[in-house]
Amino acid sequence: MLCGDIVGMWDVALSDGVYRIEFAHGTTTGKRVVYVNGKEVVRKDWMFKLVGRETFTVGGLDTRATVNIEAISGFAYEYSLEVGGKSLEKFVHDRAKITKTWLLKVDGQDCRIVLEKDTMDVWCNGQKTETTGEFVDDGTETHFTLGEHECCITATSSGRMKGGIVHRLLVDGEAVPTL
């Protein structure tokens, strides 16, 4: 159950899912509470110092996150989130470079597939998936199944120096649009 002093809320997309982080700060009591997806993960009551940091982990891989509390004037405070030692903005920017995400419906159910480009790990709805990789004439293919469906992530050259590698998801041979 969330308390009424929520002062910061952030959504963090990791390979194993999207996590909602909420921070409650009682500026009269100094209370600090961190929630991840509605579950309390940090609680400190009666803190005399109203500024500082609260560090915790998020996700199945225990990614380190920190809420920073800074006084900006009088009794006004500013709250920011760091993930993996970086500001949330930098973390999101860097993750966009090393991951590719697809959202789709499979058998009527929402499905989130994430490719970690650096390791070629594939995550389906928060679970790391068994894959088989193979080299083909124009790049690589990473094969896996989703229920009864055959899936393949292709990696081919964009043909442009700055374009890099293009990743496409195919489910039962049909291309899925990228986020």
- As a whole number, mean pLDDT of residues 108-129 equals 95
Q: What CA–CA distance (Å, rounded) separates 160 from 179?
A: 21
Are 142 and 128 contacting, i.e. CB atoms less than 8 angstroms apart?
no
SS3 94: helix
**Domains delineated in the chain:** 6-84 (2.40.128.180), 98-176 (2.40.128.180)
Q: How far is the C-alpha of 161 from the C-alpha of 170, rounded, in Å?
A: 25
107 Cβ partners below 8 Å, 6+ apart? 147, 149
Query: In terms of Cα–Cα distance, which of 22, 37, 10, 13 is closest to 103?
Result: 13
User: Is pLDDT at 3 greater than 70 in this prediction?
Assistant: no
13 pLDDT more than 60:
yes
Q: Which residue from 4, 178, 24, 10 is spatially nearest to 101, judged by alpha carbons?
A: 178
- Residue 148, pLDDT > 50, answer yes
Q: Give me the pLDDT at residue 74, please.
A: 76
Could you tell me what percent of the chain has a pLDDT over 90?
Answer: 80
pLDDT (average), residues 41-45: 93
Please tell me the predicted confidence (pLDDT) of residue 1: 46
Whether residue 139 is predicted with pLDDT greater than 60 in this model: the reply is yes
Residue 27 pLDDT:
79
The per-residue pLDDT of the chain, averaged, comes to 92
pLDDT of residue 116: 96
Q: How far apart are CA 136 and CA 64, in angstroms?
A: 38
Share of the chain above pLDDT 70, in %: 97
